[in-house]
Structure 1
């Protein structure tokens, strides 16, 4: 289960960086497309931290950071490879993926701040409450870290836009993330239950084998 959670975490990170250059609107509100993906990463690290411990969650965060850097390097290489004569979309390819570097830089900085804050708050509350009140540490750690993430990410990724738009995007995106954090609480309980069951069956099988 841990392998799948780590794979999901890293996959969502890379995907959010790629699609983050697109803005979409809901009524009068403007949001980056990454918001529909990145918000789930906090749920994943909370589940990993709850079942496998703080150090494992921190390793997942570090792995995600390194993976994003590697992805940026390979995207840069891909953009600068000489285009074949039959490939007529080099300009579009460069515009879309090249435009994501500012987004990726914003993501890296906000990622380090918010994900480490999430793990820290989550385990401070876990140390206080033990295995009780998962809903509290899941929501409080996520809501706090996502406020940091949203502010840092939007400010850097879309620097140059009018501040009225940037502040509006921060408020709108955080409101969306806040709502998702509340909604995903039952999912957190379900994933934790599944992971603990799988971890228990694995450890029991290892004991029987030995």
Structure 2
């Protein structure tokens, strides 16, 4: 199951980077990148890995996510640079969708690496304190803290100096509120996945003994 969790985590990261160019609105004031819809599910995956497989395995998953994103940036750059066929008219659209600005890419990588490591750290500390109890607490506390850091770092690096400070703060607050409630909403998912994995592990042990 760990292999599938790692694959899903890395796949969602790459997909989030691709769809991030689209902006959508909630009401009149909340403008968010489409990546938010995908990115909010990466933290529960990390939390499940820490809960079931431990801190060190989760840190390996985070590092794998960083390496994979760097590889994706490299190969996307290569494919953009390839000479297009004379009859193909989609080069400009292809570039627009797949090539973000260097500043946004750097902001994304830095915020990802710092916030996910914080998530692992906080979750592990709370797990050591409470044991198997209060999964809901460590899931939400770690995700909410790391999402706040992720949002603040990303928006600050990506947009500081290009928009007024008030707008910058508003962007951080709006995105974090969405992520805050998304964290609460995904808590049952974490419980369900953890329960399913542990049940599967117990069944495998019974089969191995018998």
Question: TM-score, length-normalised on structure 1?
Answer: 0.93
**Is residue 2 from structure 1 mapped to residue 2 from structure 2 by the alignment?**
yes
Match of 2:92 in 1: 91
**Is residue 12 from structure 1 mapped to residue 12 from structure 2 by the alignment?**
yes
Matched residues, number: 208
Distance 2:157 2:208 in 1: 48
Matches within 5 A, 1:74-153: 74-99=75-100, 101-153=102-154
Structure 2: which 5+ residue stretches go unaligned?
Answer: none
Distance 1:102 1:56 in 2: 30
Distance 2:202 2:49 in 1: 15
Matched position secondary structure for 1:30:
strand
Distance 1:207 1:93 in 2: 55
Calculate the aligned-residue CA RMSD, in Å: 1.5
Q: Cα deviation per residue 1:57-77 (whole Å; 9 max; x = unaligned)? A: 111111111100000000000
Equivalent of residue 204 in structure 2, options 195, 202, 205 = 202
Task: Say if 1:110 and 1:153, in contact at 8 Å, map to a contact too.
Answer: yes
Q: Measured at CA, do residues 161 and 95 of structure 1 come closer, stay the same or move farther in structure 2, by a change above 3 Å?
A: farther
Q: Greater CA deviation, 112-121 or 165-174?
A: 165-174
Distance 1:15 1:67 in 2: 12
Distance 1:100 1:41 in 2: 23
Task: Say if 1:17 and 1:103, in contact at 8 Å, map to a contact too.
Answer: no
Q: Measured at CA, do residues 178 and 85 of structure 1 come closer, stay the same or move farther in structure 2, by a change above 3 Å?
A: same
Q: Cα deviation per residue 1:38-97 (whole Å; 9 max; x = unaligned)? A: 011000000011011111111111111110000000000011000111210111211221
Match of 2:189 in 1: 187
Task: Say if 1:24 and 1:32, in contact at 8 Å, map to a contact too.
Answer: yes
Q: Report the Cα offset of residue 33 of structure 1.
A: 0.9
Question: TM-score, length-normalised on structure 2?
Answer: 0.93
Match of 1:53 in 2: 54
Matched position secondary structure for 1:31:
strand
